[in-house]
Structures are given as structure tokens and as C-alpha cells.
Amino acid sequence: MSGLLTLGDDGWVAGEAVNLLRSPNFDARPDGVIPNLIVIHNISLPPGEFGGTAIADFFLNRLDWDAHPFYQEIRGVRVSSHFVILRNGALQQFVSCANRAWHAGVSQHAGRARCNDYSIGIELEGSDTTSFEEAQYATLAALIPVLCAAYPIDALAGHSDIAPDRKTDPGAGFDWLRCKLSCGLTDQYFPYRHFGAILAR
């Protein structure tokens, strides 16, 4: 992405290519809790199809449930994530980092349950079996260091790491090593060590 990102005291990111879309699906973090975990997800709606506004519509509670048969399976579900990075690298923010987004569900990290309480969720438009785009890694490389500078982030995890019995994302298509190098992070941020799980291009 072009331009620098900044994070305000209110937990909202500002930048040339940032689109703020305020989801109603959030609540307050527990008193005194500051995020120290970033969770990487993937999402596509309908599954395996990219483009369009369905992801944003889902997080904003305005998805047309009758627009695709799959939507009946998620009808009425209310979820959100702090950020979505589209295939072209565009960054959308739905929930302030100061608040709790509803992205992790039943989960635990390092023996600590309820990851929503203390994590920031980043959704990449994609699927478990597709490679992510150059532009998406570029946006991650712009966003993650800003988050790490603002909060005491000490780990990055996949949704599959914190909810292994339920979730498989971000999947084999996500290049963890590339994420580590492009964000300038050390191995200590990656307790799950996915550096070999890279989809052949």
C-alpha cells in the first residue's frame, strides 16, 4: 500500500488507503486489558469467491442473506474483525483496536482463554488453499509494525492456532516467513513457527 499508517489514541488507523467502516459488532475489552496478540484469519464470501462488498456487508450486519445459498448457514451471525485486507491490498478497519472485536470465538493462547479480550484480528481476503497477494503482504508490512509500536504485542498467531479444533485459517497459503521478514519481527513473535507452511507458487 502507498503511504504511511498512523494509529490514533482512539485505536483507529489513519492513512491514504484506509477505509473506516464502523461495525456495531464489538464491545469493551475487560478493564485494564491491553492487546498483546495479533490473530491472522482469512475470509471470503461466498467461500472461495473474491471481490465485491459481501465481507464488509457481513461485518456491518447488512448482508443480503438471500444473495447466495451459503449465506443461509451464517444467517443472523454477528461477527467482526478489527481489520480486513482485500486482495488488492486495500485496508478496511471495522472496530477500534481499543475495543473487543468478535473474531476469535472460543479460543486460547499460551494457556489464556478468550482471545478476543486481548487480541487484534486481521482478516485477509482469501481462502485456506490460495496464495495471498503481494499487495496484501505489503499492507501487513505497513500495519503490523504500527500495531506493535502502539501495543505490547508479543505474538502473532493464526486462527487455527488459537482454535485448532474449529478453525483452519489462514491456511497453507499464508507465508508466515514472508510476514516475519517483511514486518521486521523476530522469531519470538511467532510461537507456533509456521515457517515451513508455505504454499508453492
Q: Which of 16, 123, 125, 133 is catalytic?
A: 123
Give the Å distances, CA to CA, from 38 to 2, 45, 79, 117, 132.
22, 22, 17, 12, 18
Sheet holding 18-20, edge to edge: 18-20, 91-93, 83-85, 119-125, 37-43, 155-158
Q: Which cell numbers hold the place of 127?
A: 481462502
CA–CA distance, 79 with 140 (Å, rounded to integer):
22
Annotated active-site residue 49? The verdict is: no
- Closest by CA to 158, choosing from 191, 187, 196, is 191
Question: Which of 173, 184, 61 is closest to 194 using CA atoms?
Answer: 173
Whether the CB-CB separation of 176 and 190 falls below 8 Å is answered with yes
Cell of 58: 457481513
User: Annotated catalytic sites, by residue?
Assistant: 123
